Amino acid sequence: MAPSTHHQKRIIDTHQHVFWWNRDDKGLIADMDDHGIEYAWLLTWEIAPEEHTTGYVQALNPTRVRADGAMEGIPLEDLLVAKNHYPDRFVLGFCPHPLRGDAPARLKAAAAMYGVKVCGEWKFRIPFDDPRSIRLFRMAGDLGLPVVLHLDVPFLPDENGRPAYYDLWYGGTVDNLERALVACPETTFIGHAPGFWREISADALTEREVYPKGPVKAPGRLHQLLEKYSNLHADLSAGSAHRALERDPEHAKKFLTDFSEKLFFARDYYGRELHDFLSTLGLDEKTTENIYWRNAEKLVAKP
């Protein structure tokens, strides 16, 4: 494995996919090696037929398609291929769709049969606090599996400030998330995605863009939830966390330091953009180690 070029001794990527964005498992390993990543959490994404969207087709495995043309997403079967090829480089995640089959029983079976250690990625067009979601979250808590959540809000303000429907929503709002946190105190949640990270700023409700820009108006709901709920954490994956932090570097350094025991280095993609940005902030050694690997291994054993 290639050494890190940024003097970070250990890096664990806690949000990754395989057969994703034009790379198979070999391609993912090559990227991890190139960026000094020791191992990654691999996550599924089950897409129900009614949740199919053409916007993601180019990113998904073209062999995983239903007879009607809808994409299946990222199934557990693809993760098992990667894990079998590279057993020491991946932690297995799996999150069954809450509306498909008996999801809690499927999760329990996957943990027992394949050694799944993470419930994720939870990315479905159903509110977090729907009873069927709560059943699944509670099973994850019983099994000791953290749940990786994708949050995209269902409404964004239009040019007149009125709520306009956003059809790529997942999970609902931070209010739905908070009700799930209260209902499942024994379950560890790790939030991510645009709807989650927009809440870093207090003006999230009035921001029209999926990825708001400009200085952060603190404290946002995200600060409040991280402080109030011991079972809420966050990963820094995808463009959503990077953009939320980069919009206000001074605030980013304080945020990362204040919540260093609740945050996880993660990418959800390839490349080193997040890594390069974090290296500009002058984070102290404890904060850096917590984010890059210590928090991950406190929560989930290495492969």
CA-based torsion, 207, 212, 213, 219: positive or negative? positive
Q: What is the mean pLDDT of residues 7-35?
A: 95
Least confident of 7-11, 32-36, 45-49, 71-75: 7-11
What residues form DSSP beta bridges with 232? 189
Q: pLDDT-derived band of residue 7, with 50, 70 and 90 as boundaries?
A: low
Residue 98, pLDDT > 90, answer yes
Residue bearing the bigger pLDDT, 2 or 254: 254
Residues in the chain, overall count: 303
Q: What is the mean pLDDT of residues 101-128?
A: 98
Domains of the chain (ranges plus CATH)?
Answer: 12-299 (3.20.20.140)
Residue 8, pLDDT > 80, answer no
Residue 218's pLDDT is 84
Q: What is the mean pLDDT of residues 182-189?
A: 98
- Residue 9 identity (one-letter amino acid): K
User: Do 74 and 57 meet the contact criterion of CB atoms below 8 Å apart?
Assistant: no
Residue 272, pLDDT > 50, answer yes
Cα 164 to Cα 202: distance, rounded to the nearest angstrom: 20
How much is the mean pLDDT over the chain? 95
Q: What is the pLDDT of residues 193-241, one digit of tens each?
A: 999 999 999 999 999 999 999 999 989 999 999 999 999 999 999 999 9
DSSP track, 95-157? ---TTSS-HHHHHHHHHHHH---BEEEE--SS-TTSHHHHHHHHHHHHHT--EEEE-B-SEEE
Q: pLDDT-derived band of residue 2, with 50, 70 and 90 as boundaries?
A: very low
Residue 9's pLDDT is 85
Residue 5, pLDDT > 60, answer no
Q: What is the mean pLDDT of residues 48-72?
A: 93
Q: pLDDT-derived band of residue 3, with 50, 70 and 90 as boundaries?
A: very low
Cα 204 to Cα 207: distance, rounded to the nearest angstrom: 5
Residue 139's pLDDT is 98
Q: What is the mean pLDDT of residues 271-277?
A: 96
